[in-house]
Amino acid sequence: MWAAQFLKIEEPNRWMTSGGLGTMGYGFPAAMGVQVAHPDSLVIDVAGEASLLMVIQELSTMVQHRLPVKTFLLNNEYMGMLAESFGATGLRAKRPEDVDDVIQAMIETPGPVIADIQVDKEENVYPMIPAGAAHYEMKLGPEHGELEERSEDGMVLV
């Protein structure tokens, strides 16, 4: 959702998304498929570290097939990852002023790269669709109320 808000995609057919459905783990293998289909293109996956951790085993596939996918990881320190253990390059930005240099290094580095961008642990990513909610119940920001907890049958828990 952060990528949808902040990346300015100006050309058609340049954006792959699960549509905000909270499909954790979607981006990394999707980026791998896009890279195979477009071997000469720059492919960047923007993901949270928990999403990446769900499919991290695919980093070995990416390295094996020499797919130069770049992963821009938004890390709120709830999970962890080590790119080097798979033979990929790991970069990290701890402060906002480090981000531009990390992006440049990520793009210039051959092979798979994971750029670990540390973000505030309490930061919420809007817009978001609460678990069990419909698209029309999307929360656009904190001014639209706290996220509701729902039971398995869709009832709001208070």
- Give the CATH number, domain containing residue 54: 3.40.50.970
- Cβ of 6: how many Cβ atoms within 10 Å? 8
One domain, residues 96 and 59: yes
Same domain, 55 and 92: yes
Q: What is the reported pLDDT for 157?
A: 45
Q: What are the per-10-residue average pLDDT scores of the chain (158 residues)?
A: 77 82 85 96 90 90 96 69 77 92 95 88 71 79 59 50
77 and 140 co-located in one domain:
no
Residue 31 and residue 96 in one domain: yes
Same domain, 100 and 155: no
Q: Characterize 100-128 residue by residue with b for buried, 16 or more Cβ atoms within 10 angstroms of its Cβ, and e for exposed.
A: eebbeebeeeeebbbbbbbbeeeeeeeeb
Q: Tell me what pLDDT residue 79 has.
A: 47
Say whether both 90 and 157 belong to one domain: no
What pLDDT is recorded for position 133? 80
What's the confidence (pLDDT) of residue 156?
47
Same domain, 120 and 138: no
- Domain identity same for 86 and 153: no
Does 66 lie in the same domain as 20? yes
Q: How far apart are CA 65 and CA 114, in angstroms?
A: 16
Q: Among residues 24, 51, 20, which one has the least CA distance to residue 133?
A: 20
Q: What is the pLDDT of residue 154?
A: 53
Among residues 77, 81, 78, 83, the alpha carbon closest in space to that of 118 is found at: 77
Q: Quick one: pLDDT at residue 76?
A: 65
62 and 88 housed in the same domain: yes
Say if residue 118 is in the same domain as residue 133: no
Q: Find the domain containing 136 and state its range.
A: 126-158
Give the chain's largest Cα–Cα span. 52
Give the tokens for residue 76: 């709120």
Q: Are residues 87 and 105 in the same domain?
A: yes
Number of domains in the chain: 2
